[in-house]
Amino acid sequence: MNNTQKKKLIGVEALNLINGYESGTIINPPILDIPSLKLYINNNIQTLYATAQLVKCINGIEFYLPLKGDEYALLKSKVLEAKNAGGAYIMFTTTTGHKFYTKDIPYLLFNQFFYDINAVSTENHRRKESNLVKIDKIQSVQDVDLLILEDFIYDTTSNLNNLATQIKVNIDNGVIPISRHTTIFSNWYNNVYNPATEKYTIFQAI
């Protein structure tokens, strides 16, 4: 790794420990403090992972959705709910701190949204697990120079307006076969789409 990658992925605490060995300010043999070195790098990777696992959702307003944990598990369950019921309800807090809600987001939109962000979530999780395995194999400070870690996918953004537009185009062009879900989506589209602004009014303030 180059110095920039090291500073980011290895982390400041681990680099300070390594620099201490190299400068002589830390006199203990490097092998004695490998557990601390591994812990520092491990913690840094976990922090970077948590940062990467946030997706910004945009539709006139902005909110962040964590791609892991209970909130993500709830969103996943909503996809099945939308499939069975035709739509699903969600509530969230925007980046400005205001609470919004929506009901009956159609399955076709919910499913495409989740599919896109789940791809990012899955890949970031794979990279995290791969990195942790490599970190666990560190036996000496010298091993860090040979350590090749994978950075994460950051700044993921999902524009719900664009997703909905593409789904409507795909329905109109026959790319998505006609079904009860296309009918539900089309009815929803007619209720929320504003031709003047070419945007969708999906969310309402609480």
Summarize pLDDT for 66-87 with one digit per residue, the tens. 888 887 888 889 899 999 999 9
Tell me, what's the pLDDT at 19? 77
Domain ranges of the chain: 3-205
Give the angle 84-86-90 at the CA atoms, nearest 5°: 100
pLDDT at residue 166 is higher than 60: yes
Distances (CA, A) of 179 to 176, 182, 183: 9, 5, 6
Summarize pLDDT for 1-59 with one digit per residue, the tens. 566 777 889 898 888 887 776 666 666 655 558 898 999 999 999 999 999 999 988 88
Put residue 116 in one of left, alpha, beta given phi > 0 → left and psi -120 to 50 → alpha. alpha
Q: Which of 35, 34, 10 is nearest to 21 (CA)?
A: 34
pTM comes to: 0.82
Distances (CA, A) of 137 to 37, 38, 131, 147, 149: 12, 9, 10, 10, 12
Q: Checking DSSP bridges between strand 54-58 and strand 156-159, what pairing results, if any?
A: parallel
